[in-house]
Amino acid sequence: MGNVIRTAATLLRIGLAAGRSTPGDRLRWWGLFCAAAAVAFVVLATVATVATYDGRETRADARGPVITFGKDAALLYREGADTVGSRPFSVVFVRPLTAEAPVPAGVTRWPKPGEVLLSPELIRTGSGEGILTRFGRFAGTVTTDGLVTPSERIAYVRVGDGAPRNDPRWMHVSGFGSNGGATGEMVDQPTVTSPILALWALTGLPALALTVVAARVGSRTRDRRSGLLQALGGTWRHRMIVNTGEAAIPATLGTLTALVPYAIASVHSTRLAPTGYILDHRDVWDAWLMACAMAAVSLLVVLGIVVGTHRIQRNGTSTRPTSFSSRVPAWRLALCGVGVALVLTSQYVPRRAQLIVFTSGTVAMWAFLSSVVALLTRHLGSWVADSGRRKGHPGRLIGGRWTHAHPGVIVRLALAMVIGIGIVAQMQVWTSRLGAHSQAAVATHQRIKDTVIEVAASNMTAAQTDHFRSSLPAGTVLLSRTFHDPGPPKDPWVTVGGTCHDLRVLEVECHGSTTAPTGGNAQVEEMRRWYGDVRFVQASRITVKADGEQSLLVVAPAAGQLAAVKQAGFTLPNPSVQVEALGGNWLGSSRTRLPNWIQLFGITGILFILVAGAVSAAAEFVRIRHALAPLSVLTGRRRVFRSVTSWHLTVPLLIATVITGAVTAWHSVFFIALVNEGSVSWAVLAAGISACAAVSLAVGLLGARAAAREAQNWKPAAD
């Protein structure tokens, strides 16, 4: 046992020393540092996501109402919705029935009738839209104990005693502490797998790609060392210890660096741009133990990748290293095929599993597509070398042979471009996914702005609607909207009632019979688009029943009256549940905020990919300048440098760009067909392909320039 420990310690010291003395050691040191930090960052972000979900559910349950159907109700409770800008938020209307009516978490006392409690974020974002007076008099704020996140927007409105107890919209509540999943940001919260899947697809994959690239920087020396260790009788354990020792210090420091932003987020709530979401520091703090454990796991993953990318023949008959630069392993080609198969078969699995299968296949396809490209360019390299030999072209001959002998170089360089184009394309496609209703809402807003406003009122007498009309801005028109559904085989329709004066304002004929008009102004046309069969009817007085089939419509002569209509609707004795512009609830849906999260994850992933590309390119410059410099003695011309790098780097990378562009176009179109929404921006895809083509040219030119500079001072030396 003592000999084993001493041997392991010696090999570990050899690895530590090798990390400070091998060619390209500084570049690899920083590459592994950045890779370990990136992987740990994604892992810790996953921990923070899971902890945040747990904290959100706990706080939502603490404020959830306990519904009762007996006589022990302590207050009436009703949930509504409103928007600030295009962001929706919850409005909770309450009417205490006893002096000791319970309060939810985050509320110390119920305000007086006509007063309102607002969350801090709602005050910050809505102060310019009159949020402090929209629901009544401002009486205080909701503390963070009653908010699922500090960025949540929510309002508690105390209505007067005139609110009827028999209104079916009111719920009888005996206390708080039940399931609160239908209020605030919990209304449309996706499952925890959704953000984690997006995080690892857009950010985790680039972090792992960066790790592979950094692990193979200066790999020629380590491959020779691995072969030497085997020739001396070393086993895979001995090689693992040396490789681990070489990468341990930068990987450990990178992992510890990733803990710094986590530590900051655990003591100070952090706003995540561009989403506007505030990460609650309490949730992050509670997950410190799990964060430390997962950080250690991420470190082991990075070291495992370093060890796994430096393998040799296992049969013991050869000391030639089996590395990523000498051949393309068949298993990587198989995994790329599996990824494509998963993408193709995702349309046949159940609806809920489609996105998971598609994303899994996408990750596998993008991760190993560069290996397919390298295999093709390896065969191309053989053809180019033969062509150069026949025509006496030294640059083509050398470049072709290098490409054939070192396909792993193309894998690492193309990996950044392949994943980069894939991320950009997916960001664009996901951003275009608004859905049919959201797209219709955007189009409606562009045509008529907020001049048609829906007021979800209930159980209003003619006197109450007349009072509501008097509180509306001058020039507005008040109408009633009634939904009729006779059932099959007849189709439902909507009747809109108003006085003759109001109907003429809308350019609708005024008569007593209910018919579908052919005329009408722009607002009427939008009503038809949203309601379908619309029929107008004359009504001298307007009432609203309590059956939920009726509501009110307010038509304004110009845009900008929505805030005033909201204040009138929410300050009624029995307030409206919702006051929105026509289609406005789709403008502020969670689908419209999804692009912000895609941008957050995607931009972070692109940053990782840029680092991977920079490290890979720099490593190739170091290798090429040392390998090509002796050619100056044989040729006496610098043109050979440009020729070799063009055939060895530029041409294969251009081929990789073309293949990636074609695969990305197919992949994006397939995804749109799968989800039945979204669009492909060919301009964005063309820009990405053009950028990668420019990078391919730049890599070849810079590689030739580095070799030419090295050739000026080259002298023979023992290797």
For 313-372, what is each residue's pLDDT tens digit?
555 455 554 444 456 778 888 999 999 999 999 988 888 888 889 989 998 998 888 888
367 sits in which H/E element:
helix 351-391
Reduced to 3 states (helix: H, G, I; strand: E, B; else coil), residue 62 is helix
Token pair for 519? 């005329």
Tell me, what's the pLDDT at 556? 93
Sequence-ordered strand ranges (E) for 469-619: 477-484, 493-498, 534-538, 550-555, 579-581
Q: Which of 211-215, 232-236, 281-285, 369-373 has the lowest mean pLDDT?
A: 232-236
Please tell me the distance from the alpha carbon of residue 670 to that of residue 517, in angstroms, as a whole number: 42
Q: Region 165-183: what's the mean pLDDT?
A: 79
Please tell me the distance from the alpha carbon of residue 567 to that of residue 155, in angstroms, as a whole number: 14
Reduced to 3 states (helix: H, G, I; strand: E, B; else coil), residue 420 is helix
> In this model, does residue 169 exceed pLDDT 80?
no
Tell me, what's the pLDDT at 472? 92
Closest CA to 497 of 481, 521, 474, 520: 481
- In percent, how much of the chain has pLDDT > 90? 28
Q: Region 638-654: what's the mean pLDDT?
A: 81
* Residue 437 exposed, middle or buried by CB count within 10 Å (0-12, 13-18, 19+): middle
> In this model, does residue 667 exceed pLDDT 60?
yes
Please tell me the distance from the alpha carbon of residue 14 to that of residue 9, in angstroms, as a whole number: 9
Tell me if 384 sits within 8 A of 403, measured CB to CB. Answer: yes
Sequence-ordered strand ranges (E) for 37-74: 64-67
Q: Any idea which residue has 């939810």 for tokens? A: 104
Q: Region 530-539: what's the mean pLDDT?
A: 88
| More confident of the two residues 251 and 574 | 251
Q: Region 596-602: what's the mean pLDDT?
A: 87
Nearby residues of 82 by Cβ (< 8 Å), 6 or more positions away? 88, 89, 91, 134, 155, 566, 570, 578, 579, 580
Q: Is the dihedral of CA 661, 666, 672, 674 positive or negative?
A: negative
Q: Region 62-74: what's the mean pLDDT?
A: 86
Closest CA to 657 of 418, 380, 423, 328: 418
Closest CA to 70 of 165, 167, 174: 174
Q: Region 520-542: what's the mean pLDDT?
A: 88
Is the preceding omega at residue 489 within 30 degrees of 0, hence cis? yes
Token pair for 425? 């394309």
Q: What are phi and psi of 635, to 5 degrees?
A: -110, -35
Q: Region 381-385: what's the mean pLDDT?
A: 86
Token pair for 240? 């693992």
Tell me, what's the pLDDT at 321? 47
Average pLDDT, the chain: 83
Reduced to 3 states (helix: H, G, I; strand: E, B; else coil), residue 64 is strand
Q: Region 138-142: what's the mean pLDDT?
A: 94
Tell me if 247 sits within 8 A of 32, measured CB to CB. Answer: yes
- Using one digit for the tens of pLDDT, what is the confidence trace for 415-471? 888 888 888 888 888 777 766 677 788 888 889 988 999 998 877 888 888 889 999
Please tell me the distance from the alpha carbon of residue 274 to that of residue 271, in angstroms, as a whole number: 9
Is the preceding omega at residue 250 within 30 degrees of 0, hence cis? no
According to DSSP, the residues that pair with 550 across neighbouring strands are 482
Nearby residues of 516 by Cβ (< 8 Å), 6 or more positions away? 493, 533, 534, 535
Helix axes 407-431, 205-215, angle to 10 degrees: 170
Tell me if 202 sits within 8 A of 598, measured CB to CB. Answer: yes
Q: What are phi and psi of 112, to 5 degrees?
A: -75, 160
- Using one digit for the tens of pLDDT, what is the confidence trace for 624-635? 766 776 766 666
- What's the pLDDT band for 220 if we cut at 50, 70, 90? low
What global pTM score does this model have? 0.83
Tell me, what's the pLDDT at 310? 66
Tell me if 197 sits within 8 A of 358, measured CB to CB. Answer: no
Reduced to 3 states (helix: H, G, I; strand: E, B; else coil), residue 234 is coil
Tell me, what's the pLDDT at 585? 76
Please tell me the distance from the alpha carbon of residue 708 to that of residue 621, in angstroms, as a whole number: 11
Tell me if 480 sits within 8 A of 542, measured CB to CB. Answer: yes
Tell me if 323 sits within 8 A of 408, measured CB to CB. Answer: yes
> In this model, does residue 519 exceed pLDDT 80?
no
Tell me, what's the pLDDT at 355? 84
